[in-house]
Structure 1
């Protein structure tokens, strides 16, 4: 029973780390999968296999080498010098992504709760700081609460869409998109998300009691991510192509389910931003702890101040400039992870 709880904690934390604000709004699913029409189920299957395989591999190796942070993993995979360089760039990327998440929370407070942008930022930072003082156990607990609600909401969306006369579009929709873009999308999507998730997956793997627990949890988590991707595509494709005009496409679908669904949806978006922000700050803090002689609390405060400063540029501005650059770096990192032959025998 104790191991089963650990398995589900791994699965929920894996899902919660990957499923961020872009996923919840539907934009990521729309841009990487649904816009490619009937081929989307196949590309989602590819992404799911990659999440199961490589996400589990990262956690298993972290467990075997007892990695303190993702820098330890990168050194193991790529050597001491290259590992340091890759980890340093990953840290810069994660700090910027944290700032984007924080800016997204501020925008959510403004647009949907009529609360000042700066207030939204400060409220998010305050509760993040309180949670981070509890360490990995608090991150596991938070995701164990949030992710089941995300899965429930996703199921409600699917059940509502089944009744639509256009429900079959998820496998019949024909679009005019290039084959290169269609089949590159799942690799780009998986690469970016796993590169960002390494900050959490590495300490998560090192924190767990056994490889079997990690393996089963990783498989369940990867399959869960695939289920949510396919469910999102199923719902969005039923409203194509009109749904592409909305900034938050899943929001448009949720609003059709009534006031209760709207409120649940808004809470979930904030929860997903919050869980991703907390997890990434935790991962970067562990890396910096190996480099600078400050307490965990001191490093956390510095990271939050940096994120707050960068978030002043706004959500959409940061998103449009930084994400394409990060995507290219992540693809290179994913290929290196997949191809690297390490000494440790970590099998799936």
Structure 2
């Protein structure tokens, strides 16, 4: 029973840690997808939370049913053999870009906050990724089991501080000039994008767990945890609207008000969220590449790390700004297909 409970929490923490990436932790995603829509944000967060619970569970259960080796197997199940292969290839390209940007962000944190050079920060992060990735899925579960509870604790502190501040109920009264259509489309875009990006780790995670009830409970707890952090961030950011929109890292502006120690913890958590996203994406990329080439996992991982290191030298912002809208459209199509997917009772397990 204790072993099953531990696995449930590892699934929940890994789910939360995969979705709650650096964009979430900085507050930019919450601001852009929810808070700027005023009081609508509370209701759209509830909708997004429901979709994370429902579709996150469904994605991992499908992965368990088909015994997926990587997210390419899931995409072939959803889109068909040929189109699924192309979608997975496109996702591999996007994940490489995202991983390079994350690596660059980690280097910047070392340079701007911890008195290391940018290059040293990159190399330290790469070394940490390589060491942990040699342990496979167990490393991802272990890292998220440490980072996510810390993030939940920090979120609780921010929420407590917000509720002790005058006008803490602004999240219920904040008005907006944004259209209701934009407000209600935001949770679908947000959920679709994050779930499709999370395939890299959630698909092999679902396939590795034999007990479906464990997957369901873990996914439910993870989805509720994501919703809690979304709502807490939204409540805190609403208190400081509209001025908080000028910050590149909105939650950083709030953390500064909590004191030097809280700000240091926050910077560490930003790096930790970047790091968990890095190892999850590289792990997923390695699994997919193993289905395309005959190289060993170690060689593939080293190759991905070298490629991301080289890409982090030149930046990837322009290319990503071009690809993200297209990826958003594909993510919405992916969301529709996973909603419509029905298990074939006559199809044998792999």
TM range (shorter): over 0.9
Alignment pair present for 1:120 and 2:117: no
Question: Would the aligned equivalents of 2:97 and 2:320 in 1 still touch at CA under 8 Å?
Answer: no
Aligned residue number for residue 283 of structure 2: 282
Deviation at 1:309, TM superposition (A): 1.7
Q: 1:318 to 1:330 in 2, by over 3 A?
A: same
Deviation at 1:318, TM superposition (A): 5.9
Alignment pair present for 1:16 and 2:2: no
Alignment pair present for 1:295 and 2:287: no
**Unaligned stretches of 5+ in structure 1?**
none
Deviation at 1:316, TM superposition (A): 5.3
Q: Structure 1, residues 282-309: CA drift from partner, whole Å, max 9, x if none? A: 0110111011010000000111111112
Question: After the TM superposition, which residues 75-94 of structure 1 pair with which residues of structure 2 at under 5 Å, given as runs?
Answer: 75-94=76-95
Distance 2:115 2:20 in 1: 25
Q: 1:83 to 1:324 in 2, by over 3 A?
A: closer
Question: Would the aligned equivalents of 1:29 and 1:233 in 2 still touch at CA under 8 Å?
Answer: yes
Aligned residue number for residue 194 of structure 1: 195
Deviation at 1:74, TM superposition (A): 1.4
Aligned length: 346
Distance 2:201 2:125 in 1: 19
Secondary structure of the 1:114 match is coil
Question: Would the aligned equivalents of 1:48 and 1:223 in 2 still touch at CA under 8 Å?
Answer: yes
Q: 1:278 to 1:345 in 2, by over 3 A?
A: farther
Deviation at 1:322, TM superposition (A): 4.1
Distance 1:98 1:48 in 2: 25
Q: Structure 1, residues 121-141: CA drift from partner, whole Å, max 9, x if none? A: 111111000000000011101
RMSD: 1.6
Q: Structure 1, residues 193-240: CA drift from partner, whole Å, max 9, x if none? A: 111100101110011131000000001001100000000000000000
- Structure 1 residues 336-345 or 271-280, which shifts more? 336-345
Aligned residue number for residue 70 of structure 1: 71
Alignment pair present for 1:110 and 2:147: no
Aligned residue number for residue 168 of structure 2: 167
Distance 1:328 1:305 in 2: 30
Deviation at 1:166, TM superposition (A): 1.9
Question: Would the aligned equivalents of 2:134 and 2:298 in 1 still touch at CA under 8 Å?
Answer: yes
Q: 1:77 to 1:328 in 2, by over 3 A?
A: closer
Question: Would the aligned equivalents of 1:77 and 1:342 in 2 still touch at CA under 8 Å?
Answer: no
Distance 2:110 2:316 in 1: 12
Q: 1:28 to 1:4 in 2, by over 3 A?
A: same
Distance 2:323 2:115 in 1: 27
Distance 1:144 1:300 in 2: 23
Aligned residue number for residue 344 of structure 2: 343
Q: Structure 1, residues 88-139: CA drift from partner, whole Å, max 9, x if none? A: 1111111111111111112222222232222211111110000000000111
Q: 1:184 to 1:246 in 2, by over 3 A?
A: same
Distance 2:156 2:196 in 1: 28
Deviation at 1:327, TM superposition (A): 2.0
Deviation at 1:344, TM superposition (A): 5.0
Aligned residue number for residue 213 of structure 1: 214
Secondary structure of the 2:342 match is coil
Deviation at 1:315, TM superposition (A): 6.8
Distance 1:292 1:186 in 2: 37
Question: Would the aligned equivalents of 2:196 and 2:334 in 1 still touch at CA under 8 Å?
Answer: yes
TM-score normalized by the length of structure 2 = 0.95
TM-score normalized by the length of structure 1 = 0.96
Question: Would the aligned equivalents of 1:104 and 1:315 in 2 still touch at CA under 8 Å?
Answer: no
Distance 2:85 2:7 in 1: 31
**Unaligned stretches of 5+ in structure 2?**
none
